[in-house]
């Protein structure tokens, strides 16, 4: 029987809080067919460099396998190359980009460790689905270990233009590693196009074929767009229940008197928070009639605190929030409430449901599920308005949001006024159309479409091998266009 094997940097272990849509979607896919979820345990071994076997937990037809990593190796892999090099590069922030050869070597070593630990756990018929930029070279390492079955890779973040990509000294190695996969998935057509353009720049026009079928000799890499979604009905139910609770009614009492503008973003320079705070101040300056009548709640949970760039942005945001509050606040009104902590998922959904406007203005984002959760959480009888960056992947699907350039602080301020003034009939119309789009590309459709592409890749592998038993392969493998 076919089994789905998911591999990610972190594993959402049973009993642990898993607020993200990724964890929910992967578990749903694995529960249907039985599955294995493999990744880092969240623990590091100080001063140890041994390669112990993964820890195994079985729950509800799903096997969780987690691996400890040496502390020094993990820091260079995760804080160094993954988040100090790849994250800014893939988001096209070259001013934040840094490269150290030793950190790239740690990244390659961790991917190799993952492959060595995962290979003995695999079955012949497994479908292997690798997630995100932390594990780009895992596919090539698994091939080196003799894994021949279908392996797919999904990039949750953007893929940059070739001129940005080649700022990375090891970009050719990473591009070649991506050719070890059978299926490459992207959030948007723009990301897929950027990857194919880079492949053409490296290996010529002939490496990308317009034909979707297999070509002999060689096993082809199939690229596709698989926009990740949310569980619309689950979000709606959770938001409705939580918003109606006594605790939430008391927590949001002030927002019954004032219109709530909300932002929910991990603390990260890619999220456009500095520009958003400036836009909100510009809004209060330009439209003084809203002073005292609108409250802006920005929730920005801490993440990657050990990376210097995030420490700097936190300090700057605190200064800007303080400056705005010092200038505009009154005895009974605080313009910005800026919170650096996590909240339970149900609480976040209730706050999203309560908000009249949600500001989602990243400078660059692969998808952004907060935008989708906001739409799903709304009361369809009296929905709020989404102000959405045109640089977020979600903008491709949610065209009925108020789309803005995240660098245009005046434009964001104007969109905020438009959202607050929008008549109920227009709010309902926009919400209904966005909700329809979310249901067409929900979380379950995302996981099902990708696993279907992996199964098709497995069938093509068998067909190619029957036609070409000698197993002649070309490098680089042809890519589908």
**Element holding 479 (H helix, E strand):** strand 479-480
Structure tokens at 444: 């379950």
- Distance from C-alpha of 321 to C-alpha of 337, rounded to nearest angstrom: 8
Q: Which of 270, 237, 222 is nearest to 353 (CA)?
A: 237
For residues 138 and 181, the answer to whether their CB atoms sit within 8 Å is: no
User: Residues near 39 by Cβ (< 8 Å), separated by ≥ 6?
Assistant: 7, 8, 9, 10, 11, 65, 66, 67, 114
For residues 335 and 295, the answer to whether their CB atoms sit within 8 Å is: yes
User: Residues near 427 by Cβ (< 8 Å), separated by ≥ 6?
Assistant: 382, 383, 384, 385
State the residue for tokens 């958003």: 276
- Active-site residue, 134 included: no
Q: Which of 14, 24, 25, 23 is nearest to 61 (CA)?
A: 14
- Distance from C-alpha of 408 to C-alpha of 184, rounded to nearest angstrom: 33
Q: How big is the CA angle at 345 (ends 233 and 5), to the nearest 5 degrees?
A: 75
Q: Which of 91, 156, 345, 431 is catalytic?
A: 156
For residues 364 and 158, the answer to whether their CB atoms sit within 8 Å is: yes
For residues 372 and 398, the answer to whether their CB atoms sit within 8 Å is: yes
Neighbours of 450 (CB within 10 A): 22
Structure tokens at 417: 């006024």
- Distance from C-alpha of 468 to C-alpha of 473, rounded to nearest angstrom: 10
Q: Which of 132, 231, 268, 365 is catalytic?
A: 365
Q: 338 to each of 261, 298, 327, 335, how far by Cα in Å? A: 12, 5, 16, 10
Q: What is the DSSP letter of 207?
A: G
- Distance from C-alpha of 89 to C-alpha of 86, rounded to nearest angstrom: 5
State the residue for tokens 């509800």: 60
For residues 387 and 401, the answer to whether their CB atoms sit within 8 Å is: yes
Structure tokens at 269: 């320079």
- Active-site residue, 193 included: no
- Distance from C-alpha of 455 to C-alpha of 463, rounded to nearest angstrom: 13
**Element holding 173 (H helix, E strand):** helix 171-178
Instruction: Return the SS3 of 222.
Output: strand
Task: List active site positions.
Answer: 156, 365
């Amino acid at each position: 029987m076919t089994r789905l094997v998911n591999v990610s940097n972190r594993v959402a272990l049973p009993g642990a809080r898993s607020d993200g849509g990724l964890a929910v979607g992967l578990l749903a896919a694995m529960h249907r067919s039985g599955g294995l979820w493999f990744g880092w345990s969240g623990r590091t071994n100080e001063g140890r460099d041994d390669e112990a076997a993964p820890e195994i937990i079985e729950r509800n037809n799903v096997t969780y396998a987690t691996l400890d990593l040496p502390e020094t190796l993990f820091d260079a892999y995760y804080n160094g190359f993954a988040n100090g090099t790849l994250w800014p590069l893939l988001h096209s922030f070259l001013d934040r980009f840094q490269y150290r050869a030793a950190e790239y070597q740690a990244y390659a070593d961790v991917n190799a460790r993952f492959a060595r630990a995962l290979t003995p756990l695999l079955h012949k018929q497994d479908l292997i689905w690798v997630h995100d930029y932390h594990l780009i070279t895992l596919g090539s390492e698994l091939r080196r270990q003799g894994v021949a079955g279908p392996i797919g890779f999904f990039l949750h973040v953007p893929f940059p233009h070739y001129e940005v990509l080649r700022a990375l000294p090891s970009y050719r190695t990473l591009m070649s590693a991506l050719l070890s996969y059978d299926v490459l998935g992207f959030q948007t057509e723009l990301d897929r196009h950027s990857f194919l353009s880079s492949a053409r720049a490296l290996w010529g026009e002939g490496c990308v074929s317009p034909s979707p079928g297999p070509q002999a000799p060689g096993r082809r890499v199939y690229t596709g767009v698989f926009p990740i979604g949310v569980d619309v009905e689950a979000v709606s139910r959770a938001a409705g229940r939580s918003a109606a609770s006594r605790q939430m009614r008391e927590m949001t009492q002030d927002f019954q008197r004032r219109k709530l503008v909300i932002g929910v973003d991990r603390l990260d320079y890619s999220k456009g928070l500095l520009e958003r705070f400036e836009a909100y101040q510009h809004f209060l300056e330009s439209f003084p009639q809203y002073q005292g009548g609108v409250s802006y709640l920005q929730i920005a949970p801490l993440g990657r605190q050990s990376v210097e760039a995030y420490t700097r942005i936190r300090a700057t945001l605190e200064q800007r929030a303080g400056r705005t509050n010092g200038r505009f606040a009154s005895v009974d009104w605080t313009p910005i409430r800026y919170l650096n902590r996590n909240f339970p998922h149900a609480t976040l959904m209730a706050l999203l449901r309560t908000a009249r406007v949600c500001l989602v203005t990243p400078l660059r984002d692969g998808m952004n599920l907060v935008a989708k959760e906001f739409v799903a959480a709304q009361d369809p009888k009296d929905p709020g308005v989404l102000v959405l960056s045109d640089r977020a992947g979600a903008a491709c699907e949610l065209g009925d949001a108020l789309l803005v350039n995240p660098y245009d602080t005046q434009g964001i301020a104007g969109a905020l006024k438009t959202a607050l003034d929008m008549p109920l009939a227009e709010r309902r119309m926009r919400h209904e159309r966005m909700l329809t789009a979310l249901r067409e590309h929900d979380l379950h459709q995302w996981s099902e479409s990708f696993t279907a592409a992996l199964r098709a890749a497995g069938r093509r592998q068998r067909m190619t091998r029957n036609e070409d038993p000698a197993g002649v392969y070309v490098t680089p493998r042809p890519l589908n266009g």
